[in-house]
A and B are shown apart, each in its own frame.
Chain A
Amino acid sequence: MTDTLLSVKNLTLNIPTGSGTLHAVRGIDFDLKRGETLSIVGESGSGKSLTSLAVMGLLGKSIKRQADEMRFDNVDLQTANRRVMRDLRGNRIAMIFQEPMTSLNPAYTIGDQLTETLLLHRKVSKSVARARAIELLEKVGITAAESRLSQYPHQLSGGLRQRVMIALALMCEPDLLIADEPTTALDVTIQAQILRLLVDLTREMNMAMILITHDLGVVARVADKVAVMYAGELVETGPAAEVFATPSHPYTRGLLRCIPQPGKTERGAPLGTIPGIVPSLIGEVSGCVFRTRCPHARPECRADIPLRGDASHEFKCIHPDGALSEEGEAA
């Protein structure tokens, strides 16, 4: 079970705007094996959601997608026609969104919406689909599952709706689950439950997952691999444990300083912030994009920087050694 499920090479997304082309995502590579969890981390606007929508083939018409390779199992996602993509979506690749409050159709019952996915992709009867829906609702921890089927989304709380969304995503036992900030809109106590549920389910079903989040604390607990995105580029990628132990890009280090760590962070000490603003991505973008906020920025950073590091843990920085000047970063 180590074959590659999803492989993306040099993915680029451009959005034409009135004042020039917005280079939203530039040259992203990543791959994912069956059962593996990859976490894409970055702040809002870094292009992580667009990347996941690009895999789903759900980008808006105005966004131009280019890649050297985009392959899911044996399907070339770049040349796949609409039929093939439709057969993949909801069936072999499923997705959960950030906003459980608005992601379910207010006009249909939970039951209708759950069974629709299965009925679209499998030749099964309605009663089989219903049974499957009940089974999954129970699996995601919803009590009185059968009576929930006739309820409408507005009758459920946000946490319950996100559980329904997860059940919806699992209807066809997908090989890959893309979860785009699945816990961001939820209460803190519910966040942990939903995350736990996702981890358990991926293990149980040997399902690969792309977990998109801006919360590094989440990543540490669930991901096998981490990809850190900044302003449309992958700045650091590698096994989660390694990236956390030896963060090599100043941005990753900055993000890590933003999370309080029990035992390490002093009481009352200010949490880290990353000063500066994200550069505009309209027009030509070259060199290290982080140099406008990086404490170690030098003239050399204006040249394009290749990925460095070993095959598993890579990063895009010319002076990765934290030793250079840790104190300079603590600003």
Chain B
Amino acid sequence: MTDATDPLYQEVQGPTPRQMLKLRALGHKGLIFGLIVVGLLVVIAILAPILAPHDPYEQSLMNRMVPPVFLGGTWEHPLGTDHLGRDYLSRLIYGARVSLLIGAVAALISGVIGTAMGVAAGYFGGKVDAVVTFLINVRLAMPVVLVALAVVAILGGSLTVVVCVLGLLLWDRFAVVMRASTLQVSRRDYVAAAQVIGASTPRILLTEIMPNIFNNLIVVITLEMAHAILLEAALSFLGLGVQPPTPSWGLMVSEGKNMMLFEPWLVLIPGAVLFLLVLAINLMGDGLRDVTAPEGRS
């Protein structure tokens, strides 16, 4: 009776989940844009010594505040020079290293702390959960910029100090998201099944819980990386982050501020690059969330 040519019998061949993921990722403009820009900046940061036309620290008092090419400068200094005659493009390129390094390491440190706390709270519940939730509340109540500034001021501003301070301050979102995801996952049947067959707790956490909250973790890592980069820039702008002469974009804005009246590009250029990087990372994070959790899209 079954007729192979009857259109009503044709089963619709849907794409596999992996293909769906790929399709959604390729169709997500924000994700693609974010990946390209972040990828490009990472390559630039790695290849900084090759790409930078000048030594970012080399001062030249004869060539101070040379305007960029598009404002009448020369190709010798495509983006001009700063108040000490240092090549602006080279400083921007090396600045990418500072921003990306601080963002990545701070996100990593806070990711380890926050994930451990969040997973423990979500999986064990009860008292552990109460303590972690309390710590999250305490952390949220502390003004990040102020505390970071004060600690950096006392310990002295250096890359290491800034990274560690930010890493120790930014774990809250990891803890919140990982707690919620773990709570959700640990109610699933396969976790109950693993418990029933007597799997050890570390084993359940590693093989049942972690793989299923990994997508959320990646999303938070990207978003917190952007957060850390913005905070570093703000601290450096306020003069209590990365110290001169290290090329940090926030510091460059701060140094350019005094000349803002006459040479606004000194402020515009590093800020715009900072904005672009943070925008790209955020778009990447939002895109990853949309692509990996299509049902949660709003």
Which of A216-224, A291-299, A307-315 contacts the other chain?
A291-299
- Residues of chain B contacted by A306 (CB below 8 angstroms): none
The answer to whether A280 touches B1 (Cβ under 8 A) is: no
Interface string of A152-166 (1 = CB under 8 A from B): 000000000000000
A-B pair number, CB within 8 angstroms: 20
- Residues of chain A contacted by B1 (CB below 8 angstroms): 297-298
Which of B2-10, B51-59, B111-119, B138-146 contacts the other chain?
B2-10
Residues of A within 8 A of B (CB): 279-280, 282-287, 289, 291-292, 297-299, 302
- Residues of chain B contacted by A299 (CB below 8 angstroms): 3
The answer to whether A289 touches B8 (Cβ under 8 A) is: yes
- Residues of chain A contacted by B9 (CB below 8 angstroms): 279, 292
> Which among A280, A282, A302 is the interface contact of B6 at CB below 8 angstroms?
A302
B12 within 8 Å of A (CB atoms):
yes
Question: Considering the complex, which residues of chain B in the window 5-28 have a beta carbon less than 8 Å from any beta carbon of chain A?
Answer: 6-9, 12
C-alpha spacing A302/B9, complex, angstroms: 11
| Least CB distance, B2 to chain A, in whole angstroms | 8
C-alpha spacing A295/B7, complex, angstroms: 18
- The 20 sampled A-B contact pairs (Cβ below 8 Å) are A279-B8, A279-B9, A280-B12, A282-B12, A283-B7, A284-B7, A285-B8, A286-B7, A287-B8, A289-B8, A291-B6, A291-B8, A292-B6, A292-B8, A292-B9, A297-B1, A298-B1, A299-B3, A302-B3, A302-B6
| Least CB distance, A300 to chain B, in whole angstroms | 12
Determine the interface band of chain B, counting residues with CB < 8 A from chain A: under 10
Q: Which residue of B lies closest to A291 (CB)?
A: B8
Q: A284-B7, A297-B1 are in contact. List 16 more A-B contacts (CB 8 A).
A: A279-B8, A279-B9, A280-B12, A285-B8, A286-B7, A287-B8, A289-B8, A291-B6, A291-B8, A292-B6, A292-B8, A292-B9, A298-B1, A299-B3, A302-B3, A302-B6
The residue in B3, B7, B8, B12 that gathers the most chain A C-beta atoms within 10 A of its C-beta is B8
- Residues of chain B contacted by A282 (CB below 8 angstroms): 12
- Residues of chain B contacted by A283 (CB below 8 angstroms): 7
C-alpha spacing A279/B6, complex, angstroms: 11
The residue in A279, A283, A289, A299 that gathers the most chain B C-beta atoms within 10 A of its C-beta is A279
- CB-based closest 5 A-B pairs: A279-B8, A292-B8, A297-B1, A280-B12, A292-B9
Q: Which residue of A lies closest to B1 (CB)?
A: A297
- Residues of chain B contacted by A279 (CB below 8 angstroms): 8-9
| Least CB distance, A19 to chain B, in whole angstroms | 8
C-alpha spacing A279/B3, complex, angstroms: 14
Q: Which residue of B lies closest to A279 (CB)?
A: B8
Q: Which residue of B lies closest to A277 (CB)?
A: B11
C-alpha spacing A298/B3, complex, angstroms: 9
| Least CB distance, B13 to chain A, in whole angstroms | 11
C-alpha spacing A326/B1, complex, angstroms: 17
Q: Which residue of B lies closest to A301 (CB)?
A: B6
Q: Which residue of B lies closest to A282 (CB)?
A: B12
C-alpha spacing A282/B8, complex, angstroms: 10
| Least CB distance, B188 to chain A, in whole angstroms | 24
| Least CB distance, B7 to chain A, in whole angstroms | 7
- Residues of chain B contacted by A285 (CB below 8 angstroms): 8
Q: Which residue of B lies closest to A302 (CB)?
A: B6
Question: Considering the complex, which residues of chain B in the window 62-93 have a beta carbon less than 8 Å from any beta carbon of chain A?
Answer: none
Interface string of B89-127 (1 = CB under 8 A from A): 000000000000000000000000000000000000000
C-alpha spacing A263/B78, complex, angstroms: 94
| Least CB distance, B85 to chain A, in whole angstroms | 58
C-alpha spacing A299/B2, complex, angstroms: 9
- Residues of chain A contacted by B12 (CB below 8 angstroms): 280, 282
C-alpha spacing A302/B222, complex, angstroms: 55
C-alpha spacing A327/B189, complex, angstroms: 41
